[in-house]
Structure 1
Amino acid sequence: MHDGPVPEGADRGARPRPAATVMLLRPAGSPGARDGADGPMEVLLMRRVRSMGFAPGAYVFPGGRVDGRDADGGVPWTGPGPEEWARTLGTDVPAARALVCAAVRETFEETGVLLASEPERADEGAITLDTSPEDWERDRLGLIDRSRSFTEVLSRRGLVLRSEWLRAWSRWITPRAEPRRYDTWFFAAELPPGQVPRDVGGEADLSLWTDPAAVAAEWEAGRMPMLPPTVASCAELARCRTLRGVREARRDIVPIEPVVRKVGGQLCVVVPNGVDYPLPKPGATP
């Protein structure tokens, strides 16, 4: 989501584009084992390169816009089906399918972590998938340049998307005053065993695991610039305390659309809970 001031003459009624983002979680200090559900946890954050036209230098979760091919009905799939996801996300079935696929695809493109497995192992607890070899890297780059589809990559490798590894968390819509708007569904997912996020370059120049409870102080001190939904989501994760807490959290997926207004002479994003998030000044790099 874009947090810059509105340029003169910008379209104030821009239609938000659908997007999906994933809060990737693991037990604190763990290299990726699916254990420690009752201990401290960490969330993966990525810092966008400063040359990006959108949110340069901001810490974000992996994610991005929905691609038209994400609605492909041929994606091999386990867990809740698109119909159930549509009820959970508050969308129609094609949109739900596209959002779930976009969440998994974008996470793989940006981190190398793939929420998928072999179908015959879909009910097993310990599943290891190594996406670091060169042939996997070709697939990842092919998804980015659109020379390969997500359905093709999974089907050719005999893998299924594990929708049960995703948990719907929230939905944020960019304020109406912004020229570039997104309708973003947030998901939580635990890091699959054996997989390790990679610094793959592209849109991010740094990836780090951090305690979600430490994020607010870092943001307030100006050491970790973030968009309001990222700060708010980390605060919600912190209140859950553990992976088990995240698994058991009750979430109502309703649209959250902040407004932009001046607070104390400074332009801020104001969310429904009354929290003010100051916007960067025109031309400033967060």
Structure 2
Amino acid sequence: MALAGEYAEGVRTPAEARDAATVLLLRPGAGSGPEVYLLRRQLTMGFAAGMAVFPGGGVDARDAELPDSRWAGPPAVEWAARLGVDESRARALVAAAVRETFEESGVLLAGPSDGVVVDDVSGADWEADRVALESRELSLTELLTRRGLVLRTDLLAPWAAWTTPVFEPKRYATWFFVARLPEGQVTRDVSSESSSVLWLGAAEAVRQVEAGELAMMPPTYLNCLEVASLGGEDDVLADAAGRTLTMFTPQVTAADGGHTLSMMPRHASLVEGRRS
């Protein structure tokens, strides 16, 4: 934490945070709450190595270029108000959330028209497109245009926004979204950045982290904890439907004779409830 103090005092300059989007993909669980889709990142990755994460990644400059003709659901100006950013940035973040979900899970939140979702994207031709998208040979706009699809932005809902603490060498300003696994689609172990993937009940994910059986970055753990506290998929999506986001950056605070990172108030109350 001494290093964090040097940033706070202006001795060191924080790395610039790159915009990113990630999606809590949900499906019904065997118990009372939903399952979330998680990827274990390769141990060789430069950020969050070995951690269980949600599908997501950095914004591609071309994400902001998605035209209105390939956009269905709430307009970008409405997303801008809910994400707390300007319209161009909102368009890029929503597009990045859908693109990264397809790249890392094989699930595509798009359809031939408003109100319709493509029901199977697991064939060899789709896999070729996914690989081309992942390698940046193909943009999301090009994929949707060639396939005659529109981005179903109404299948996403804003959930949270976190920026990596100032003392980290790699930093991301990450917007978290929630989405239900579309009927007819299946997740696939396709991401080159992960060593394994799994569906896990949100409450079970929390238990495994607390037992030291699963490694997660604090935002991933806290978002799982919050999902587990709300009930089923419908409860999570209903809660998200009314959210507008404010970016949160954890700060170093004194605690029990040492130091810890601050949390959003709603997360802090959930953590405190588990300790009591």
Q: Which residue does 1:146 correspond to in 2? A: 136
CA distance in 2, matches of 1:226, 1:81: 33
Q: Structure 1 residue 257 and structure 2 residue 236: aligned?
A: no
Cα deviation 1:73-124 (Å, max 9, x = unaligned): 42601000111100111110000000000000000000110000111xx335
RMSD of aligned residue pairs (Cα, Å): 2.4
Shift of 1:264: 5.6
TM-score by length of 2: 0.86
CA distance in 1, matches of 2:228, 2:32: 12
Q: Which residue does 2:52 correspond to in 1? A: 59
Q: Structure 1 residue 27 and structure 2 residue 28: aligned?
A: yes
The alignment partner of 1:231 has SS state of: helix
Structure 2 counterparts to residues 26-175 of structure 1, below 5 A:
26-29=27-30, 40-74=33-67, 76-119=70-113, 122-124=114-116, 127-175=117-165
Which structure shows the bigger proportion of residues in helix conformation? 2
Cα deviation 1:205-230 (Å, max 9, x = unaligned): 11111111122221122111100100
The alignment partner of 1:238 has SS state of: helix
CA contact (8 A) 2:105 2:191 kept: no
Q: Which residue does 1:18 correspond to in 2? A: 19
CA distance in 2, matches of 1:257, 1:137: 37
Q: 2:261 aligns with which of 239, 250, 269?
A: 269
CA contact (8 A) 1:12 1:179 kept: no
Q: Structure 1 residue 248 and structure 2 residue 260: aligned?
A: no
TM-score by length of 1: 0.83
CA contact (8 A) 1:19 1:66 kept: yes
CA contact (8 A) 1:12 1:178 kept: no
Unaligned runs of 5+ in 1: 30-37, 276-286
Closer, same or farther: CA 183–260 of 1 in aligned 2, 3 Å:
same
CA distance in 2, matches of 1:224, 1:260: 24
Q: 1:234 aligns with which of 204, 207, 224?
A: 224
Closer, same or farther: CA 208–170 of 1 in aligned 2, 3 Å:
same
Cα deviation 1:31-75 (Å, max 9, x = unaligned): xxxxxxx96321111110111121111000000001100000426
CA distance in 2, matches of 1:184, 1:257: 10
Which is further off, 12-21 or 166-175?
12-21
* Identical columns (%): 47
Closer, same or farther: CA 159–39 of 1 in aligned 2, 3 Å:
farther
The alignment partner of 2:23 has SS state of: strand
Which is further off, 74-83 or 163-172?
74-83
Q: What is the count of residue pairs matched by the alignment?
A: 259
CA distance in 2, matches of 1:247, 1:224: 26
CA distance in 2, matches of 1:131, 1:123: 17
Q: Structure 1 residue 187 and structure 2 residue 177: aligned?
A: yes
Closer, same or farther: CA 143–208 of 1 in aligned 2, 3 Å:
same
Unaligned runs of 5+ in 2: 269-276
Q: Which residue does 1:34 correspond to in 2? A: none
Shift of 1:259: 1.9
CA distance in 2, matches of 1:52, 1:268: 25
Which is further off, 255-264 or 151-160?
255-264
Q: Which residue does 1:33 correspond to in 2? A: none
Shift of 1:269: 3.0
CA contact (8 A) 2:66 2:95 kept: no
Shift of 1:12: 3.5
CA distance in 2, matches of 1:67, 1:201: 17
CA contact (8 A) 1:11 1:179 kept: no
